[in-house]
Structure 1
């Protein structure tokens, strides 16, 4: 029997906490442990910072099922702390609040426990020093915050799962499903993981967050000239754009502009422009039935093959695959039912 501690943080993703519990209970069911009357394959317990219930992001109470200090788990799963995505400006105070977990997590690691994080739970592992020398992933939207806070850590936010051996990170709040599938496969067997997948009606593990990512041009910096250029690019991305002209808009020399733009946004002006065009194309693929060639022209590209390569590299799929997956406008001749 493997003991699993699911750490519920303040303002956590409640369905992720209970979803992990449900998944490991399902694994024990599929193993036959419950039916045979023996010990379950997994003993899964919810723990919190102070052994008291925590208020989840949705307002529900998540109640611990075990005193944290008295539980010595084989596996620790740190649930998503939605605060990091919804209010990244308060990340410092949030992580200070959960700092008392650090010594408990390090103790679990020293005993050989497998440590896993879901979504922004990776911040907690990083604060405890448990991602030093490791590879991490986290929710794509908070990746810039993670990079700024931990510049020496290697982050691969495009990945759904990253396995370092003793430390496993999952990106995105719903990635607890992918994480659980992987952990059951690793700790029990591929057959039990497949049985869980069938019983819960789940697809196989996803590999990348890339198709879900959206580009948010950060303006949380102190360079008004760059902000002016960002606004101009966002208004004129569909036109022929010359970067030296954008420098003139910002009232900067070309070399100075490019340097300051990269320092402020983390992107070169050209990459920023390309991201804007890809995001515009995504919106049109989602919300219209325009031909892809027409969309490419509308977002400011004349070379269709070049844009298609850019789109696939950025979104992780072709334009046609993206529309099939995320488009919400019915094809002509098909009417949505009331």
Structure 2
């Protein structure tokens, strides 16, 4: 039997704690209904017997205090909220315990923005990690030695698991159920909890808002120019010349400031504009393509799918009920 420790961090998101407990105890129930032995021993582990979560609106009771648990097999780090630097700070008491358990063979899984606590352990340094797309800029600033993977729902490296944004963590929880209880139980859990199994990407849900939390004013001006001229064909040469910066130096500065090359940024701005059109307007794909400055349909489809994980038609059908193709 695998011991599952669901941590109860300060500033935790209550739903992620409840959902984690639900799926592991549910898997046990499914196994027992089939005449089989349960696989998981599930305990809620806190720094105190009662921890206030969700901005103090709720209190979660621990089954066991962190100081009294000396051995576990699977550690679940729920999502956190609020000021992320402070949330990491007030949960540092968990860090040496997580490191020690991992070094003794435990697997560690962070749900959504719980990745900030996992990254604070240093265990992810030099490795990849998934997290909520909306906190990507903050994550990279706080943990530059960790490679944040945009778009991926679940990342796993050497017993360290992380998941994408919000309810994406169900995909990680299902993965762990399948690993330890089998595919049949994972499918049963997916059906009973109405979950999509084997989802790979959070890209269709991401919204690109630009990365302007930096102090490089010419680059910020270039970003604003790109965003205000979405219908135009803009080259890197045009931008570097406009702001009187040599091309190679401009590209380096742009990448450092935004974590995108200029070409990637232009593409993402255009595709974000196209997404909004596909979500809300009755325009066909070619009309949308022209309005965001593309003239090559194949190139538009290729870039759109690379960024969103869906074709333009599939994206429109997913989000625009009135324009969906029946």
TM-score by length of 1: 0.87
Could you tell me which residue of structure 1 aligns to residue 46 of structure 2? 48
Shift of 1:332: 9.0
Separation in structure 2 between the aligned mates of residue 131 and residue 259 of structure 1, nearest angstrom: 26
Counterparts of 1:155-174 in structure 2 under 5 Å?
155-174=148-167
- Distance verdict in 2 for CA 1:32–1:277, change over 3 Å: same
Could you tell me which residue of structure 2 aligns to residue 16 of structure 1? 16
Root-mean-square deviation (CA), in Å? 2.6
Shift of 1:58: 8.4
- Distance verdict in 2 for CA 1:287–1:58, change over 3 Å: farther
Instruction: Give SS of 1:120's match.
Output: helix
Separation in structure 1 between the aligned mates of residue 230 and residue 325 of structure 2, nearest angstrom: 33
- Distance verdict in 2 for CA 1:292–1:58, change over 3 Å: farther
Counterparts of 1:1-338 in structure 2 under 5 Å?
1-32=1-32, 40-57=38-55, 59-71=57-69, 72-83=71-82, 87=83, 91-327=84-320, 329-331=321-323
Shift of 1:57: 5.0
Number of residue equivalences: 325
Higher deviation after alignment, 99-108 or 191-200: 191-200
- Distance verdict in 2 for CA 1:5–1:150, change over 3 Å: same
Shift of 1:39: 7.5
Separation in structure 2 between the aligned mates of residue 133 and residue 126 of structure 1, nearest angstrom: 11
- Distance verdict in 2 for CA 1:269–1:198, change over 3 Å: closer
Separation in structure 2 between the aligned mates of residue 176 and residue 256 of structure 1, nearest angstrom: 40
- Distance verdict in 2 for CA 1:62–1:226, change over 3 Å: same
Unaligned runs of 5+ in 1: none
Instruction: Give SS of 1:62's match.
Output: strand
Shift of 1:256: 4.2
> Contact 2:316/2:324 (CA < 8 Å) preserved in 1?
no
Instruction: Give SS of 1:77's match.
Output: strand
Shift of 1:254: 4.4
- Map Cα deviations across residues 251-288 of structure 1 (whole Å, 9 max, x no partner): 54545433332222122222211111000011111111
